[in-house]
Amino acid sequence: MSEHFQQDIKFLKGVGPKRAELLNQELQIYSFGDLIAYFPYKYIDRSRFYKTTEINSKLTHIQLKGNISNFRQEGGRGRKRLVADFRDEAGMIQLVWFHAAKWIKGSIKEDKTYVVYGKPAIFQGRFNIIHPEIEDHELFDAKLSTSLQALYNTTEKLKNNFINTRVIHKLQNSLLKSSRGKISESLPSYLIKRINLISREEALINIHFPASQDLLNRASFRLKFEELFMIQMHLLRQKLIRKEKSQGFVFSEVGEYLNGFYHQHLKFELTGAQKRVIKEIRHDLGSGKQMNRLLQGDVGSGKTLVALMGMLIALDNKYQACLMAPTEILANQHFNTISKMTSGLDISVYLLTGSTKKAERNIIDEKLQQGELHILIGTHALIEDRVSFRNLGFVVIDEQHRFGVAQRAKLWKKNVRPPHVLVMTATPIPRTLAMTLYGDLDVSVIDELPPGRKAVKTLHFTDSQRNRVFGFMKKEIKKGQQIFVVFPLIQESEKMDYKDLEDGYNGISRAFPPPEYAVSVIHGKMKAKEKEISMSYFVNGKTHIMVATTVIEVGVDVPNATVMVIESAERFGLSQLHQLRGRVGRGGDQSYCILMSKEKLSDEARKRLETMVNTNDGFEISEVDLRLRGPGDMEGTQQSGMALNLKIANLSRDGQILQLARNEAEKILEADPGLTDDSNEVLKKQLSLNFQKKVNWGVIS
């Protein structure tokens, strides 16, 4: 915005240095512009008066009209308070003050009618209002310009310093008065006409001081649209710029490797979704532009296979490929699968992790540089400087959200031009979030599981039903199946968690005693070697039950395991639960996921468990997750300021507005990629203002 809005907030009438400091600290409001973009979280209808008899505990705020009388002191030392009776035609409640009592008592007249506003509370079985707002009814009527009044979030500290929602309301008023004629338009006029928006000035006025419900709706729409649209414009421009300047290796050949694999090694038909995605990738690889593609798909949907086929195309064109995974277990597993799938094809595949021995490393280094090594699979070890390829052309990153941007960027530099990049995630994210987080990437989705999979059945039991669960586990073991039992591990309560794990392990060892049963355990405190041994016992079928913390969350593949028991399931997030469930159901047998929880659950925890019981669809689960938690807490969003700092739009509710914003942004850039047309001048200016504090956003993924 203009210079006016860049002024320090302390210069606003009614603020001053002390309040400014509080606003800085508590709400990150530094400038006029920050304040005007501090939007209300809700509106109350101030034309609506409740009766005292209508109060219930669901109401967060109520407004009453009546008389106040019978002031008295109650309570002993420490809890001393001023109490008064409030009466309307229907009944009576009490008003309570813990401080500023004298002043209040002196200013209220018994024969006057007052408007009382506040949050009802229950004390000794009766409703009261603590520290109500009180206004003379006559004055209230006179100045009631609109029935909708904005409420603003504040903090404890602000309230203690008398900056409450009303004060912020007044500051907004003062700011808007001083801003008349200074709120310039940020969107091109043809766009405003095309989608019928109100002006920016009108929107900002009405978001803080709605003249009517209709104008409030339109103000909110305009501001949400603008917010999402600017982000989409930014992302799409980044993508355009990247495509323009980053030339990619052209992989025009489909040769022996891919054909050999496809015709001789692939034992099953690709799913329709896999075929579609491979086509998309092939198109990118032949385009002359560098590919930057996100591959989303549920656990078990066959992403690895698609990634492998991409790598084979690179090999056919005399380039090397690599695959980076976030953990050693996972890297190992990828190595095994890919080695198996490519055996007999004369492809040299190597594994490089922190545990790779020195002699082996030397061989890898040498072969990499000679170009004799075709596919390198590994962990973070891949990005070390000493790892130098002869001709790296294709990079796959699995579970990309576990890597930092800078880490990933290092792989780009391993050839004269950046290699083609395919990032994969098995944690589906809602479409709206993907559009905002990865809006500058091309996105492919595998939304279809290979045929013949039996959906995992999910059941919820409480701790008191444990014996039934143990009985069921025994039946499955008798059938020759194996079982995971997973305990939560949360950083803050690590000690307690290990205690739980230990108790749980002991309990299971007692219920499943040798020699009939064998139980393995694996957790983060064990040495890598110990983990590996424990894991291999289970993988090779020597133990029936694997008791573990969430270290097994990603990737572990034991097709014979058909039961996943999740202990204290209420403590896991949805995406984690979904990931864990994905560990079973990999073979042909019917699999089960059993969620154990305590009896009493919070509403949110109950909703999570219900969602797990009701659906196996990762995308649906991610939508619920987004609704429950908001984008800030979703896995994978931490790296992006964008989804977190939305001021008014909400990615779980405003999907349609986002889609519109994306479409409009695409249309505009298609017609005028450089935004050089006169009609786009305001837009171009606004974009450079909004994104001048340049986050290193372009290189993400």
- Residues forming the site for ligand ADP (CB under 6 A): 268, 270-271, 274, 297, 299-305, 426, 450
Name the minimum Å distance from CB 505 to ligand ADP: 28
Name the minimum Å distance from CB 287 to ligand ADP: 25
DSSP state letter for 318:
T
Name the minimum Å distance from CB 438 to ligand ADP: 18
> What whole-number distance in Å separates Cα of residue 179 and Cα of residue 432?
34
DSSP letters, 596-608, are EE-S---HHHHHH
Name the minimum Å distance from CB 336 to ligand ADP: 11
> What whole-number distance in Å separates Cα of residue 386 and Cα of residue 37?
48
Spell out the residues 6+ positions from residue 578 whose beta carbon is closer than 8 angstroms to its own: 299, 427, 612, 618, 621
**Residue bearing tokens 């008003």:** 95
Residues in the chain: 701
Please identify, using beta-carbon distances, which residue of 299 and 649 lies nearer to ligand ADP. Answer: 299
Please identify, using beta-carbon distances, which residue of 92 and 270 lies nearer to ligand ADP. Answer: 270
Q: Which CA distances in Å does 322 have to 308, 436, 623?
A: 10, 28, 32
Q: Which CA distances in Å does 490 have to 116, 486, 500, 568, 572?
A: 46, 13, 12, 12, 9
> What whole-number distance in Å separates Cα of residue 247 and Cα of residue 420?
10
Name the minimum Å distance from CB 629 to ligand ADP: 24
Name the minimum Å distance from CB 445 to ligand ADP: 12
Q: Which tokens is 668 given?
A: 């505009």
Spell out the residues 6+ positions from residue 515 whose beta carbon is closer than 8 angstroms to its own: none
Please identify, using beta-carbon distances, which residue of 146 and 274 lies nearer to ligand ADP. Answer: 274
Name the minimum Å distance from CB 274 to ligand ADP: 6
Calculated CA dihedral for residues 467, 469, 474, 477, nearest 10 degrees: -160
Please identify, using beta-carbon distances, which residue of 210 and 618 lies nearer to ligand ADP. Answer: 618
DSSP letters, 209-235, are S-SSHHHHHHHHHHHHHHHHHHHHHHH
Please identify, using beta-carbon distances, which residue of 223 and 305 lies nearer to ligand ADP. Answer: 305
> What whole-number distance in Å separates Cα of residue 588 and Cα of residue 581?
16
Helices (H), 246-355: 256-260, 272-286, 303-316, 328-341
Name the minimum Å distance from CB 309 to ligand ADP: 11
Please identify, using beta-carbon distances, which residue of 334 and 544 lies nearer to ligand ADP. Answer: 334
Name the minimum Å distance from CB 450 to ligand ADP: 3
How far does the chain reach from its first CA to its final CA, in angstroms?
31
Please identify, using beta-carbon distances, which residue of 132 and 302 lies nearer to ligand ADP. Answer: 302
Are the CB atoms for 630 and 654 separated by under 8 Å? no
Name the minimum Å distance from CB 145 to ligand ADP: 58
Name the minimum Å distance from CB 590 to ligand ADP: 17
Please identify, using beta-carbon distances, which residue of 186 and 575 lies nearer to ligand ADP. Answer: 575
Q: 150: exposed, middle or buried (C-beta count within 10 Å: 0-12, 13-18, 19+)?
A: buried
Please identify, using beta-carbon distances, which residue of 305 and 535 lies nearer to ligand ADP. Answer: 305
Please identify, using beta-carbon distances, which residue of 63 and 550 lies nearer to ligand ADP. Answer: 550
Name the minimum Å distance from CB 305 to ligand ADP: 5
Spell out the residues 6+ positions from residue 263 whose beta carbon is closer than 8 angstroms to its own: none
Name the minimum Å distance from CB 559 to ligand ADP: 8
Please identify, using beta-carbon distances, which residue of 299 and 311 lies nearer to ligand ADP. Answer: 299
> What whole-number distance in Å separates Cα of residue 332 and Cα of residue 525?
20
Name the minimum Å distance from CB 583 to ligand ADP: 10
Please identify, using beta-carbon distances, which residue of 297 and 631 lies nearer to ligand ADP. Answer: 297
Spell out the residues 6+ positions from residue 492 whose beta carbon is closer than 8 angstroms to its own: none
> What whole-number distance in Å separates Cα of residue 651 and Cα of residue 626?
8
> What whole-number distance in Å separates Cα of residue 133 and Cα of residue 115?
8
> What whole-number distance in Å separates Cα of residue 610 and Cα of residue 603?
10
Please identify, using beta-carbon distances, which residue of 11 and 268 lies nearer to ligand ADP. Answer: 268
Q: Parallel, antiparallel, or unpaired for β 392-397 and 420-425? A: parallel
Please identify, using beta-carbon distances, which residue of 323 and 508 lies nearer to ligand ADP. Answer: 323
Please identify, using beta-carbon distances, which residue of 341 and 519 lies nearer to ligand ADP. Answer: 341
- Angle made by CA atoms 58, 62, 66, in degrees to the nearest 5: 135
Please identify, using beta-carbon distances, which residue of 203 and 299 lies nearer to ligand ADP. Answer: 299
Please identify, using beta-carbon distances, which residue of 302 and 419 lies nearer to ligand ADP. Answer: 302
Please identify, using beta-carbon distances, which residue of 555 and 655 lies nearer to ligand ADP. Answer: 555
Name the minimum Å distance from CB 211 to ligand ADP: 53
Name the minimum Å distance from CB 325 to ligand ADP: 11
Are the CB atoms for 432 and 623 separated by under 8 Å? no
Q: Which CA distances in Å does 269 have to 69, 274, 338, 391, 452?
A: 82, 10, 18, 32, 12
For CA atoms 578, 583, 588, 589, the dihedral sign is: negative
Are the CB atoms for 286 and 252 separated by under 8 Å? yes
> 200-208 and 213-245 are packed helices; what angle lies between their axes, rounded to 10 degrees?
130
Position closest to ligand ADP via CB: 302
Are the CB atoms for 167 and 56 separated by under 8 Å? no
Q: For the chain, what is the largest distance between any 2 Cα atoms, rounded to a whole number of angstroms?
A: 97
Name the minimum Å distance from CB 446 to ligand ADP: 7
Burial code (b: 16+ CB inside 10 Å, e: under 16) for 658-672 equals bebbbebbeebbeee
> What whole-number distance in Å separates Cα of residue 62 and Cα of residue 119?
6
Name the minimum Å distance from CB 293 to ligand ADP: 15
What is the SS3 assignment for 673?
A: coil
